[in-house]
Amino acid sequence: MLPAVTADDDKLKGLLEKLDEATALLAAARDFAKPGKLPRVLDTARRVMLHPDGCAAMAPRARVLEEAGVFAGSDWASPQILVPALTPHSLASADANTVVIEALSELRLLAVAHGEYRHPLISAEQAHHYLTQVIAINLTLLFGAATEAERETQGRLAQLPRNLFQYLTERIGYEHVIDQLIEEIWRILEQRPIQVDALKSMITQIATCQADPDIDLGASGQGANRLVSALFSPTRGCQEDPGIAVYRERLGSMDPSALQSEATGFARAMHDTGLVSPYHPVLLRFLLDQGDHLLTEALGLSATGRDCLLCYRDLVHALIRACVHPPTAQATYGLALLLERGILYQPSMAPALLRQLGLQLSDWSQARLTLAFGDAVSPRARLLEGVLCMLGQPLGVGQGNNPTCQSARALSMWAYSDPDYLLQMVAWAARDDEIIMHFEGQPISSRESEGGVATTLPLDLDPVSLLVVPHLDRIYAEMGRRCVDREGDPHRWVNPEFHGWWSGRGFRINVDVATGHLADMDAFLRHFYASYHPYYNGDLPLIHPQPAGIAVTDSAARFIGWHAITLLRVNIDPTDVMRAYFYNPNNDSGQDWGDGIRVSTAGNGERFGESSLPFEEFASRLYIFHYDPLERGELAQVAQEELDRVIARIHRSWGADRIPATELQASEGPHV
């Protein structure tokens, strides 16, 4: 017996008929006429998704809607660049069209994740990975009613995201998402990124779910306790998360033994996860008057870091007082790692940090920092937190979702190799709103340059990058413009001038710039092996990090684009495999590049922030590298079969459409 058809079902059926009609009109419209047809589609889709069964009805239509042009001209048209952390803003928007487009995008990615829609720009694995993060960040939409603010700004529209996430979770499985989420958080934390706000938000949502008696996690989420405790209850003194004020009072009544226990507990949690509890700065500031022994314990310092702290005691105390607060808790980790690096022993570093402590920020810099991070602490303290984190974690710099990989790489390289130069750049950008660099002896001003690679000023960056990257981006683009009439790739001249004297003046590229075809593959690879592979370069280790360029591919080995990285070192890994270790400016460097090439970020001898691949696999994605032409390697000794394996990987992936016609004909043989 068929279930009775209700009036509600009839209403949904009628709405779907109207939606299909509006979608057909949008698809048939010329490009210039589509904007006029789109509002009807979005309005009808909104009414459909407000129905309890509306998202299930919309899901099969996601592909048709995209092909009709719903996402055309917007960021949603490129799903591979979407940022999960931005979805709460879109879904909480007062603009109904923004909410609807975001919801349609998630339904489209759900179809991709389940193999119902093979998308040309994003793989099923990437779509599934994205959705698990989106669900994690928006867990409140699954379990919480609309807030007063949502009801005020969105009205009935606030129900739409809740319907969406109920449906997404039913299709993906909440318990599956939680376990994946915890695994994902640990995987990213192993890379020790500077920007951890999104991770902290995820952990906060998990803690909320754990505490909610109405949510049954079953056997899921068991690995979350270390994460939750690291943020909210790392020590006995704050084990029930009592609040900052209460914890501060408790410290006053603790004896030396209890303070020792607190210091050790905080340090253990911080170095275990890379996350800093808001309670940790409270203890640090309290210990400034209790003696440096407990302070070194609270920072978790080894002999190197402890000696550095004692040598520069007044400076370290001043840094803690200036920027280590609960809202800037990550400065604690940055300071600890800075001391462990021992870079304060460089003669210029202490004066440069003293200048940073008293730096007068421009009005523009203060406004930009406040816009991005709020006003919980002063802009100067926020910037100083960013400085400590970047100096302590030079491989933790990320570019977010912006085309500024060159600038992010430069900041990382300077923090790694030339930290006082980085501080000079910060001072110029934050104080003067201008950076001047030189290209072949001629000055380039960031203020006078036309524009950079990024079309808008990014906000999803750490405090240092937020201020410095816009200037570097314009200067980098201007250097490129000054090479526009030169034959070949401009990186040959730009990279050494932009990144530093240690960038090799020797340059190789395996793509013909004029045609885009592969070129000189054998010579390119022989030079790379002879320059960097220990078996062919006289076992000479890499002294300074070197800029390089890779052809990024997706999990299906399809070409995505060119990307700037830093080659850090080449070593034998724990399993006796020769690996290339490199820095990737992405916030998450663990990627599947297809054809069996999966970038590793932990477990193969990587240090925090490094990515790695077996040398052959790395070479198969490399298209540009620099080298010192005066260092002699053995070109002839590289086995041809090894080079052939690398070239075959290139031909199966990003080079598939770049093989010159002559090579194709040769490989196909004579035609009969």
CB 315 within 8 A of CB 353: yes
CB 542 within 8 A of CB 413: no
Identity of the amino acid at 196: V
User: Residue 559 forms beta bridges with which residues?
Assistant: 553
Average pLDDT score over residue span 454-477: 88
Residue 233, Cβ neighbours under 10 Å: how many?
20
- pLDDT band of 402, cuts 50, 70, 90: low
Average pLDDT score over residue span 574-582: 96
Tokens of 489: 């790739």
Q: What is the pLDDT of residue 215?
A: 66
What number of CA atoms fall less than 13 Å from residue 318's CA on the CB side?
12
Q: What is the pLDDT of residue 148?
A: 44
What is the DSSP track for 153-186?
HHGGGGHHHHHHHHHHHHHH-HHHHHHHHHHHHH
pLDDT at 33 over 90: no
C-alpha distances (whole Å) from 225 to each of 143, 233, 268 are 21, 10, 15
pLDDT at 143 over 90: no
Q: What is the pLDDT of residue 663?
A: 61
**Which phi and psi angles does 416 have, rounded to 5°?**
-80, -45
Percent of the chain exceeding pLDDT 90 equals: 66
Q: What is the pLDDT of residue 242?
A: 94
Q: Which residue has the higher pLDDT, 369 or 187?
A: 369
Q: Which residue has the higher pLDDT, 174 or 341?
A: 341
Taken in order 235, 237, 241, 245, is the CA torsion positive or negative?
negative
Q: What is the pLDDT of residue 94?
A: 81
40-49, 206-215, 433-442, 547-556 — which is least confidently predicted? 206-215
pLDDT at 640 over 80: yes
* 653/510 Cα distance (integer angstroms): 14
For residue range 491-505, what is the model confidence (pLDDT) as tens digits? 999 999 999 999 999
Residue 183, Cβ neighbours under 10 Å: how many?
12
Q: What is the pLDDT of residue 553?
A: 85
Maximum pairwise Cα distance, the chain: 93
pLDDT at 405 over 90: no
Average pLDDT score over residue span 74-83: 88
160-174, 405-419, 477-491 — which is least confidently predicted? 160-174
H-state helical runs in 601-639: 615-619
What 3-state class would DSSP assign to 522?
helix
For residue range 169-209, what is the model confidence (pLDDT) as tens digits? 878 766 667 777 788 788 889 999 999 987 898 788 788 77
- pLDDT band of 3, cuts 50, 70, 90: very low
* 582/547 Cα distance (integer angstroms): 10
pLDDT at 632 over 90: no
Chain-centroid distance of CA 67 in Å reads 29
Quick one: which of 285, 289, 291 has its CA closest to 266? 285
**Do β-strands 611-614 and 559-572 pair in parallel, antiparallel, or remain unpaired?**
unpaired
C-alpha distances (whole Å) from 117 to each of 20, 107, 328 are 18, 11, 43
Identity of the amino acid at 341: R
Quick one: which of 573, 570, 599, 583 has its CA closest to 499? 583
Q: Calculate ∠ Cα 24-27-32, nearest 5°.
A: 135
CB 590 within 8 A of CB 601: yes
pLDDT at 449 over 60: yes
Residue 246, Cβ neighbours under 10 Å: how many?
12
pLDDT at 475 over 80: yes
Helix pair angle (292-299, 303-311), 10° resolution: 130
Q: What is the pLDDT of residue 150?
A: 58
**Which phi and psi angles does 414 have, rounded to 5°?**
-70, -40
* 474/17 Cα distance (integer angstroms): 50
Residue 30, Cβ neighbours under 10 Å: how many?
7
CB 433 within 8 A of CB 447: yes
395-399, 487-491, 522-526, 631-635 — which is least confidently predicted? 631-635
* 253/251 Cα distance (integer angstroms): 5
What number of CA atoms fall less than 13 Å from residue 393's CA on the CB side?
31
Q: Calculate ∠ Cα 593-597-598, nearest 5°.
A: 80
**Which phi and psi angles does 289 have, rounded to 5°?**
-105, 10
At CB < 8 A and 24+ separation, what contacts does 182-186 make? Answer: 182/206, 182/221, 182/223, 182/224, 182/227, 183/223, 184/129, 184/132, 184/133, 184/136, 185/227, 186/223, 186/227
Tokens of 621: 């994605």
Q: What is the pLDDT of residue 171?
A: 84
467-471, 472-476, 550-554 — which is least confidently predicted? 550-554
pLDDT at 373 over 90: yes
For residue range 251-307, what is the model confidence (pLDDT) as tens digits? 999 999 999 999 999 999 999 999 999 999 999 999 999 889 999 999 999 999 999
For residue range 587-619, what is the model confidence (pLDDT) as tens digits? 777 788 889 999 999 999 999 999 999 999 999
Per-domain residue ranges for the chain? 7-172, 242-345, 347-482, 506-668
CB 527 within 8 A of CB 627: yes
**Which phi and psi angles does 492 have, rounded to 5°?**
-55, -40
Which residue reads 């790395």 in tokens? 618
- pLDDT band of 374, cuts 50, 70, 90: very high
